[in-house]
């Protein structure tokens, strides 16, 4: 199976319920950022996401309220570095109790002290370790030596302890496709539960010239798509076709909503035109039609999972061929 069966079923159940209720737009994933504090300052990360003070973090109650308000079955804990959130255990417990699937997006540096022995492995709790390349590349991207080795040590330990553990890789301008394949092989060698490969987003607040143009994304993802069948890559075949420039998709920014220490980020995980305190104001007043159209200049080079994976699945579900392709992809890997 590409993902644990419960995770796939939770998404299908949610889609079915939304469709029965006649909802065209609904969130499936909540990117919950309880804090903007981090123990790294990676070169491709938007500045506000790693410069926040711990004192400015969200309360546990605010986090759970956001989860209840949006109703998404999947909660990605990110930020900031979520393992630095002092209330992490209470948050994970509250999410498990609500039947949510939790993806803890982490640089892994603190897993041994903040997660192992504190939050036990659970079928609804996944670790997603950030790894942007092999040793030299990853340490360069993280602007610190030794991060790669520590992440690999933590990944091995996480698997030994029984955590569902995946890798999340961002492809930058300098990323060699051969290195991406090397990482896919590493995932197999470490018996990790998959790798999510995404093109980086060109944040206005990041000065480094590391991001890809649309044409460069297409070129790299055509090559990645070429070997994707051999590995457990956690992006649907339709998304990879989109990333490789073989099909167009509308954006679905509402499918992955983002709650931050400043409020609901509108319109999407990448663009913060506004930060809105109340869920209803955010949901009802964001001009979804405009953002779906991708006419905004900031959308031109965007090929992010958070915007397009939902549309890729919707597209697949329109035809029998697409449904079969999606089912085959889910059952293998």
| Residues of this chain that bind ligand SF4 (CB under 6 A) | 251, 253, 267-268, 270-271, 291, 294, 298-299, 302, 304, 306-307
Write down the number of H helices and E strands in the chain: 13, 9
164 or 276: whose CB is closer to ligand SF4? 276
Beta bridge partners of 263: 260
Shortest Cβ 90–ligand SF4 spacing (Å): 31
50 or 298: whose CB is closer to ligand SF4? 298
Residues 6+ apart with CB under 8 A from 305: 196, 198, 235, 239, 256
Shortest Cβ 238–ligand SF4 spacing (Å): 16
Shortest Cβ 122–ligand SF4 spacing (Å): 30
Shortest Cβ 256–ligand SF4 spacing (Å): 8
Shortest Cβ 247–ligand SF4 spacing (Å): 15
21 or 289: whose CB is closer to ligand SF4? 289
DSSP string over 15-41: HHHHHHTT-S---SEEEE-S--B-S--
295 or 320: whose CB is closer to ligand SF4? 295
176 or 273: whose CB is closer to ligand SF4? 273
Shortest Cβ 249–ligand SF4 spacing (Å): 10
134 or 206: whose CB is closer to ligand SF4? 206
152 or 268: whose CB is closer to ligand SF4? 268
**Which one, of 265, 322, 329, 271, lies nearest residue 298 by Cα?**
271
- Look up residue 149 and give its two tokens: 């080795």
133 or 272: whose CB is closer to ligand SF4? 272
Side-by-side strand order, sheet with 101-106: 195-199, 164-171, 125-130, 101-106, 74-77, 29-32, 256-260, 263-267, 272-276
Continuous segment of H or E residues that includes residue 126: strand 125-130
- Look up residue 169 and give its two tokens: 């890789």
Continuous segment of H or E residues that includes residue 157: helix 147-161
- Look up residue 287 and give its two tokens: 């001009």
Query: How far apart are alpha carbons 221 and 201 in whole angstroms?
Result: 15
Residue with tokens 């803890």: 104
Shortest Cβ 97–ligand SF4 spacing (Å): 31
Residue whose Cβ sits closest to ligand SF4: 307
DSSP string over 162-210: T-EEEEEEEE-TT--HHHHHHHHHHHHHTT-S-EEEEEPP--TT--S--
Shortest Cβ 300–ligand SF4 spacing (Å): 8
Cβ count near 152 (within 10 Å): 18
């Amino acid at each position: 199976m590409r993902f644990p069966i419960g995770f796939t079923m939770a998404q299908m159940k949610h889609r079915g319920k939304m469709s029965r209720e006649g909802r065209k737009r609904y969130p499936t994933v909540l990117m919950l950022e309880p804090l903007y504090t981090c123990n790294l300052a990676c070169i491709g990360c938007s500045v506000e996401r790693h410069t926040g003070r711990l004192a400015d973090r969200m309360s546990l109650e605010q986090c759970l309220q956001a989860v209840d308000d949006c109703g998404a079955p999947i909660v990605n804990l990110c930020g900031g570095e979520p393992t630095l959130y002092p209330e992490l255990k209470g948050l994970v417990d509250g999410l498990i109790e609500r039947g949510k699937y939790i993806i803890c997006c982490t640089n892994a540096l603190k897993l041994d002290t903040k997660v192992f022995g504190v939050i036990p492995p659970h079928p609804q709790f996944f670790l997603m370790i950030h790894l942007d390349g092999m040793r030299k590349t990853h340490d360069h991207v993280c602007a610190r030596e030794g991060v790669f080795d520590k992440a690999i040590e933590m990944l091995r330990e996480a698997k030994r302890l029984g955590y569902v553990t995946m890798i999340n890789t961002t492809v930058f301008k300098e990323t060699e496709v051969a290195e991406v394949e090397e990482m896919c092989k590493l995932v197999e060698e470490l018996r990790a539960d998959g790798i999510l490969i995404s093109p980086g987003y060109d944040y206005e607040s990041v000065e480094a010239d590391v991001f890809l143009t649309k044409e460069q994304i297409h070129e790299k993802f055509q090559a990645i798509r070429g070997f994707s069948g051999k590995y457990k890559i956690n992006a649907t075949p339709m998304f990879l076709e989109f990333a490789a420039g073989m099909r167009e998709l509308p954006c679905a920014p509402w499918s992955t909503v983002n709650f931050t220490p400043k409020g609901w980020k509108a319109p999407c995980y990448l663009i913060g035109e506004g930060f809105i305190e109340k869920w209803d104001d955010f949901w009802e007043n964001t001009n979804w039609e405009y953002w779906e159209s991708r006419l905004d200049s900031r959308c031109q080079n965007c090929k992010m999972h958070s915007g397009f994976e939902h549309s890729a699945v919707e597209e697949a579900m329109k035809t029998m061929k697409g449904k079969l392709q999606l089912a085959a992809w889910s059952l293998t890997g």
